[in-house]
Amino acid sequence: MKLAASGKRKAAACGEAPIPCAVNCLLETLTKPWIMQILWVLGNDGPTRFGALRRKVEGISARVLAERLKHLEERGFVFRNYEPTIPPAVTYGLTHRMAEMDPVLKQMAALGQKWFEEDVRAGRIPDHETREWPATHGPSARPQLPDSPSDRPGR
C-alpha cells in the first residue's frame, strides 16, 4: 500500500503491487461502477453508438460513461470506431477479450440469479415483482416497498 496525498493508505494500482495478481487486475476493472452495465449492453446489443449506450445504461452521466469506455478501451475490453461524419459517429463494441469472458459472465449471471431467488425465498431481500417481503416473515414484520426509489423514506 502507498500513502496518498491525503495521508490515507491507498491500494497499489493494477501492475504496481509488489506481486501483481492477474485476478485482482481483472476485478479492479470489472468492479468499477457502471462497468458491468456497459459490458452487458454491448454484449447483448452488439456495437452501439455513444448516445444509444448512454440511454441504455440508465442513470449514467456522459462524463462517467466516457471515462469508463476509455478505461475499457485501454484494457482491451472494448473497441472504439470513429467515423468523421457530421455529427461524428462513435461506436463502441466488445473485443475478442470479452468474447473469452462471455462463458464466465454467463455462469456468474446464472449463479447470481440462483442466489437471488434463494434470498427472496429465504426473506433476505424483497420480491421485486410483488414489491413485498415474503409472507414467511408475517404481515407486520416487513413493510411493503414503495413503487419507486424516490418514494422511499429518507430520499
Write the burial class of residue 39 (CB in 10 Å: 0-12 exposed, 13-18 middle, 19+ buried).
buried
Q: Which residues touch 131 (CB under 8 Å, ≥6 apart)? A: 144, 145, 146, 147
- Ranking 22-36, 125-139, 141-155 by mean pLDDT, the lowest is 141-155
For the segment 135-151, the average pLDDT, to the nearest whole number, is 47
Mean pLDDT within 81-90:
93
pLDDT confidence bin for 105, thresholds 50/70/90: confident
**Would residue 154 be called left, alpha or beta, if left means φ above 0 and alpha means ψ between -120 and 50 degrees?**
left
User: What is the H or E stretch that residue 93 is in?
Assistant: strand 89-94
Residue ranges of the domains in the chain? 17-94, 96-134
> Has this prediction a pTM greater than 0.85?
no
Tens digit of pLDDT for each residue in 57-75?
999 999 999 999 999 999 9
pLDDT band at 20 (very low <50, low <70, confident <90, very high): low
79 vs 14, which has greater pLDDT? 79
Cell 411493503 found at: 144
* CATH topology assigned to domain 17-94: Arc Repressor Mutant, subunit A (1.10.10)
